[in-house]
A and B are shown apart, each in its own frame.
Chain A
Amino acid sequence: MSHFYKSSKSDPVLLAAAGVGLAAAGVGLALWKRSRSADSNSLSSAAPNWTKARSSDRALFGKSLLINRPRDELFAAWNVDRFPEFMENVAAVEDLGDNISKWTVKAPAGHEVTLVNQVTEVIEGEAIYWQSTSASDVANSGEVKFADAPGGRGTYVSLILAYDPPGGKLGGLAAKLLQREPEVQARRDLHRFKQLMETGEVTSNASPSARSSERPTEPHI
């Protein structure tokens, strides 16, 4: 049913991204559902996914990017077959049926985290929602939305994900230092998606330096 699953017969790695989306990185707990009308009497701001007030302790990440391609093209490309091209830290994925998939994701310090996520809703050309199941190491949920940008500028692609940081606040800090934090990974994966769709390749600064730890074919910080 979900277009996410249309390649369920292909290499499991290709399924990897299912549901998690950029969350590949990531991980998380319940979807941060915003009901602005419910929690405030004041005028709403026009940025629909943002508020300074938080009603949950869960880590929440949201990012919107303008991508200079048509909405339908981007929606079609947000596809399990193409996820490995721009998601960096998905090690493997297994289709469990019923729109559920099991993801093996690289975590800090060489560890791996297993996510079990279910796509809960797909609005063709507009949005994809997912939610973790009880079998997931990390409770998480998220959504990715596609909306036409004005003036023929392309498409606003918005990603929201929520998760319980593994290891609590301390674990979150460690992950951040190791650049494997879900939020960091998700933001970077979303940029890689933009690069791939606009330029046909994922941008890389791979080039020589006099640092013996680096290779000229690998990107560096």
Chain B
Amino acid sequence: MRAVTWQGRHKISVETVPDPEIVNPRDAILRVTSTAICGSDLHLYDGHIPGMRAGDVVGHEFMGEVVEVGASSTLKKDQRVVVPFTISCGQCFFCERQQYSACDNSNPSETRDASELMMGHAMGGAFGYAHLTGGYAGGQAEYVRVPYSDVGPVVIPDGMPDDDVLFLSDILPTGWQAAVNADIEPGDTVAVWGCGPVGLFTIQSALLLGAARVIAIDHFPTRLALARKYGAEILDYGEVDVREALDEMTGGIGPDACIDCVGMESHGFTVDNVLDQVKAKFYLATERPHALRQAILACRKGGRLSIPGVYGGFADKFPLGQLMEKGLTVKSGQTHVQRYTGDLLDMIRDGKFDTVSLISHHAPLEDAAEMYRHWHSEQDRYTKIVLRPGLEKGGVQAMQEMERA
């Protein structure tokens, strides 16, 4: 089959690799119909995630049709399913508590040692995301093996197009959990750093969960325009001092909840971020947490900090005293996707989310290398890319001209 592979920093290629096979009784094999490139795939692309190996098949946002099932799978051939990026057994201590991304069985015994050494405890498994999370092939491919297929995959009712439901695999539940973790109360002002796809779903979720106001922070006009379309007030950090603006908008107390949807590769030319960039260039640090630092300083006393943005290791110049003295509550973590997919599918059907207008491009799987380049370097024009294995090479379809803020 054809598959998108990671070959090194800034090297993505589409290769012919063996087809996946059923290995365990609970497995299923899917023929992938749609698969998206995630913001966190850029962390792999930039070489910031340890534990990648040349030749890894990437991709953790995907859906498709069931073509083969193991003896214990509950899926049936020809069903259309969306697959959570987290691989979860459903039966360990963590899965029983719906902490699915912490699954204690999905990271195999061969790969969990390094993960345990680095994190203290082995991370759960995930598709297409480095060997610290299990070394599973991802879904940017024609076919994919899905372990524990009786627990994760969401069966999609007939008549719902791929674009409506594909993001149940990661970014919609991730945005939802980010807002849930902010413990939003009526009347709250919620500030969201980063208007990438996760930030855009966080904005929609925070409003659905009762926030009075959402203030979104970014510097790309197209992304800010989407944030405004979904109901947020917007701040372009290139134009305003974010902390002063947030204070001004909240009578001087700051936002009640702050959500970092940026993660380890903050943009911007502040002193702390330039220092971080220099250190990251020389591999002296992996984290560039400028947005998180700013969120801590901006948040109101006794407020809440939610961190869905991906970080990989140790951070410098972390405002720990500020966090403590202001009495902030912090919630974080990879998304417990399986916990939310049922409710979110219902909400999509009820029209509560706009899951489609953030997609800027549909592209053939064969054009993945070029799409990664665009996704990395043209973040204003490319707001979300969906790859389709069925499309002819070169058949990139840009959606209608996007509005700019």
Q: A residues within 8 Å of B by Cβ?
A: 66, 68, 153-154, 184, 187-189, 191-192, 194-195, 198-211, 215-217, 219-221
Residue B223 interfacial (CB < 8 Å): no
Are A195's CB and B105's CB within 8 A? yes
| 8 A Cβ contacts from B1-48 to A | 1, 3, 5, 7, 15, 17-21, 23-26
Residues of A within 8 A of B108 (CB): 203-205, 219
Q: Which residues of B contact A195 (CB under 8 A)?
A: 89, 105, 109
How far is it, in angstroms, between the C-alpha of A15 and the C-alpha of B89 when the chains are bound?
30
The answer to whether A199 touches B105 (Cβ under 8 A) is yes
Q: Which of B25, B110, B131 has the most chain A CB within a 10 Å cutoff?
A: B110
> B26 to A201, Cβ gap below 8 A?
yes
Q: Are B96 and A192 in contact (CB under 8 A)?
A: no
Q: Which residues of B contact A194 (CB under 8 A)?
A: 104-105
Residue B322 interfacial (CB < 8 Å): no
Chain A residues near B104 (CB-CB < 8 A): 194
Contact, CB under 8 Å: A191 / B18 = no
Which chain A residues border B125 with CB–CB below 8 Å? 203, 205
Q: Is the CB of B136 within 8 A of A207?
A: yes
Give which listed residue, A154, A188, A199, contacts B89 with CB less than 8 A.
A199
Among the 9-residue stretches B53-61, B286-294, B340-348, the one with 4 or more Cβ atoms under 8 Å from chain A is B53-61
Count contacts between A and B, CB distance < 8 Å: 115
B105 CB to closest chain A CB (Å) equals 5
Q: Does B263 contact A (CB under 8 A)?
A: no
CA distance A71 to B141 in the complex (A): 43
Given known pairs A153-B93, A200-B72, the reply for A221 and B111 (CB within 8 Å) is yes
Which residues on A sit within 8 Å (CB–CB) of B148? 199
B109 & A191 in contact (Cβ 8 Å cutoff): yes
A83→B21 CA distance, assembly (Å): 25
- Residues of B near A192 (CB, < 8 A) are 109
Which DSSP category, helix, strand, loop or mixed, fits chain A's interface? loop
Partner among B24, B54, B91, B113 whose Cβ is within 8 Å of the Cβ of A204: B24
Report Cα–Cα, A203/B122, bound state, in Å: 14
Given A199-B105, A208-B20, A216-B18: A191 touches B137 (CB 8 Å cut-off): no
A172–B6 CA distance with the chains assembled, in angstroms: 34
Decide yes or no whether B199 CB sits under 8 A from chain A.
no
Given A209-B55, A209-B56, A219-B108, decide whether A198 and B23 contact each other with a Cβ distance below 8 A: no
- Given A198-B91, A205-B108, A209-B57, A217-B141 contact (CB < 8 Å): no
- With a cutoff of 8 Å between Cβ atoms, the chain B residues found around residue A205 in the complex are 108, 110-111, 125, 134-136
A200-B26, A201-B24, A204-B108 known; A211 vs B53 contact (CB < 8 Å): yes
Q: Is the CB of A199 within 8 A of B110?
A: no
Which B residues, 120 to 151, have Cβ-Cβ distances below 8 Å to chain A?
125, 131, 134-137, 141, 144-145, 147-148
Instruction: Identify 10 residue pairs between A and B in the complex whose beta-carbon atoms are under 8 Å apart, listed by A's number.
Output: A154-B93, A188-B109, A195-B109, A199-B105, A203-B89, A203-B105, A204-B23, A207-B136, A208-B20, A211-B53
Q: In this complex, what residue of B is CB-closest to A179?
A: B110
A216 close to B21 (CB less than 8 A): yes
User: Are B109 and A221 neighbours in the complex by a CB distance under 8 Å?
Assistant: no
Is B335 located at the chain interface by the 8 A CB criterion?
A: no
Inter-chain CA distance A124–B23, complex, in Å, is 35
Asked if B105 contacts A208 (CB within 8 A), the reply is no
Flag if A208 contacts B131 (CB, 8 Å): no
4 new A-B pairs (CB below 8 Å) besides A199-B90, A206-B145? A209-B137, A210-B56, A210-B57, A220-B110
A195 to B110: give the CA distance in the assembly, Å.
13
